[in-house]
Amino acid sequence: MIILIGGVRDLGRFGVVLDQRSKKILQKVWPGEVSVVLRLDPRRKTLAKKFAYLHRGTRTLAFRVPALAWLRTLLHKTGPLVAPSANLEGHPPAWTVREAKRYFDDKVDFYIDAGRLGGRPSTLIKIENGKVIVLRQGAAKIPRALMI
C-alpha cells in the first residue's frame, strides 16, 4: 500500500520525523513518481499502534506526493489516502479501471477512471540512516548524488 499525501507536512500525521538530510532528499523527489518508505518515530508509540494495520509490525510506511496537481489538491481537501498498487503482487499492473476491478473488486473504496493508463510504476526508495536505497526502479530515475 502507498499512502498518497498532499505534502511533506502530512508525514507528521503518521509519526514520521525527518532529519535535515531526509527533508532535502524528499524535496528533490517530490512531487513526482517516487514512493518513499519511511520509518515511524519509535517515540510516537500511539501513532505506530494506530497505523499498525498499515505497517503490519514493520513500523515503516510508503508515501508518495503525486506529480498530478489536481490529485494534490484533492489530497489537501481529503487528507492522506491509502492507495493499493495497481496490481496484485507478482501480477502485471492494471492499465484500466476494468482491469483494476478484476484484481480488487469491492475491496477498493472508489476508482477514478482516467482512461487507459501507460507508463511504468513509481520508483520505490527507502531512506535509511540518511541514505537512499532503491527498492524498485520505476518511472523516475534517482540522481546518483542522492544515493551517497
- Per residue in 7-19, pLDDT (tens digit) is 999 999 999 999 9
Q: How many structural domains is the chain composed of?
A: 2
115 shares a domain with 58:
no
**pLDDT for position 37:** 95
**Same-domain pairing of 59 and 9:** yes
Band the pLDDT of 148: cuts 50, 70, 90. low
> 148: buried, middle or exposed (CB in 10 Å: 19+, 13-18, 0-12)?
exposed
- Among all chains, which residue has been given the C-alpha cell 523527489? 29
Do 55 and 128 lie in one domain? The reply is yes
User: What is the average pLDDT value for the chain, to the nearest integer?
Assistant: 89
Which ranges constitute the DSSP H helices of 37-107?
45-50, 52-55, 69-78, 97-104
Q: How many CB atoms lie within 10 A of CB 132?
A: 23
Q: Per residue in 56-98, pLDDT tens? A: 888 999 999 999 999 999 999 999 999 867 777 778 888 899 9
Tell me, yes or no, whether 81 lies in a domain. Answer: no
